[in-house]
Structures are given as structure tokens and as C-alpha cells.
């Protein structure tokens, strides 16, 4: 079947198998920030934006995104680098494997709720699995980033 979609701002038209997963399509197109983790939609490593909403690409057929806008971390470099530095400053990136999914979900949270409470942050990022840390560094990094944005007068 033929699909057309916008991938990080570029139109892509391709013939794909009806059972092809979005994660496999994205990785075949060089989007290596989209990682394969649990393959059961439980770890958040494969998070991408479909029409600006976070979805797990390991559990979505590429046929379902025909005609839609897909954004991976590669398409959000400036925004991701801005926030990622705050995570690194807190030592929360230990192995770094979970960072792309965490950053994608954090960016979605910043867009939907620019002033989240600690509980809201934890709830929003609950689907991101990190085996290296107790999530305290990520929480500190998110809070530091939000404080920085407030002081700067910017909106996340």
C-alpha cells in the first residue's frame, strides 16, 4: 500500500507493507532517536508526535498515519537541546537510552501545561521507563527548565 506523510517537515511517499509498524518506518528513514525498548507500549522509548500529540510508535501501524504530520526528536533539535541540557546538568542522563522518549514527552507536557505541579509532571511522564535512575534527576531537570523559562519570560 502507498502512504504519504510529513516526516519532520518533509513529504515522504512510499509503498509499505500493511503490517509495518511506525517505529520500523521511522528508523528506516534515519530517525534513530526512536528506539525499540519493550515492544509492548510500556516504556516510552519509541515516543513520537503524530499531529503534535505523543504516541508510541511501536504499537501503531504506519498505515494509520497516512496523510499526517509525524515529528521525531530529529525534527525538534533546538527545543530538545534546550531542555536536554537541564537533564544533563542534573546527572539524569546516565546511559542516555531513555532520553529521547523522555524529552519528547516532556516537550509535549510543556506545550500542554506550562506550569505543571510535581504530581502532574510525575503523572505525565509515568510511561517513561528509566532503569538507571530513580527519576529524581529528571524531575529536578524539568523543574529547573521550567524555572529558567519563567525567569526568562518565555513560554515553554
Pairing of strands 69-71, 2-7: parallel
2-74 is classed CATH 3.30.70.141: no
- Residues 50 and 143: their CA atoms lie apart, in Å, by 26
**Beta carbons within 8 Å of 125's beta carbon, 6+ residues apart:** 44, 102, 105, 106, 109, 135, 138, 142
Q: How far is CA 28 from CA 14, 34, 40, 67, 68, in A?
A: 12, 11, 20, 18, 18
pLDDT tens digits, one per residue of 41-95: 778 889 999 999 999 999 999 999 999 999 999 999 888 888 888 888 877 666 7
Question: 155: which 3 cell numbers?
Answer: 513560554
128-150 per-position pLDDT tens digit: 777 666 677 788 889 999 999 88
**Domain residue spans in the chain?**
2-74, 76-152
The 10s digit of each residue's pLDDT in 17-36 is 999 999 999 999 999 999 98
The pTM is what? 0.87
- Which top CATH class is 76-152? mainly alpha
Number of Cβ atoms within 10 Å of the Cβ of 140: 16
The pLDDT of residue 154 is 56
- Predicted local confidence at residue 65, as pLDDT: 98
Q: What is the mean pLDDT of residues 98-117?
A: 89
Residues paired with 69 in a beta bridge: 6
Amino acid at each position: 500500500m502507498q502512504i504519504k506523510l510529513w516526516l519532520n517537515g518533509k513529504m515522504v511517499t512510499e509503498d509499505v507493507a500493511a503490517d509495518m509498524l511506525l517505529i520500523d518506518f521511522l528508523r528506516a528513514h534515519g530517525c534513530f532517536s526512536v528506539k525499540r525498548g519493550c515492544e509492548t507500549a510500556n516504556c516510552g522509548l519509541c515516543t513520537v508526535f503524530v499531529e503534535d500529540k505523543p504516541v508510541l510508535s511501536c504499537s501503531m501501524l504506519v498505515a494509520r498515519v497516512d496523510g499526517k504530520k509525524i515529528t521525531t526528536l530529529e525534527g525538534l533539535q533546538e527545543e530538545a537541546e534546550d531542555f536536554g541540557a537541564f537533564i544533563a546538568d542534573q546527572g539524569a542522563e546516565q546511559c542516555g537510552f531513555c532520553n529521547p522518549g523522555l524529552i519528547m514527552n516532556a516537550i509535549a507536557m510543556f506545550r500542554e501545561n506550562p506550569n505543571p505541579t510535581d504530581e502532574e509532571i510525575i503523572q505525565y511522564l509515568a510511561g517513561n521507563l528509566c532503569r538507571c535512575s530513580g527519576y529524581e534527576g529528571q524531575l529536578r531537570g524539568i523543574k529547573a527548565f521550567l524555572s529558567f523559562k519563567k525567569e526568562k519570560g518565555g513560554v515553554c
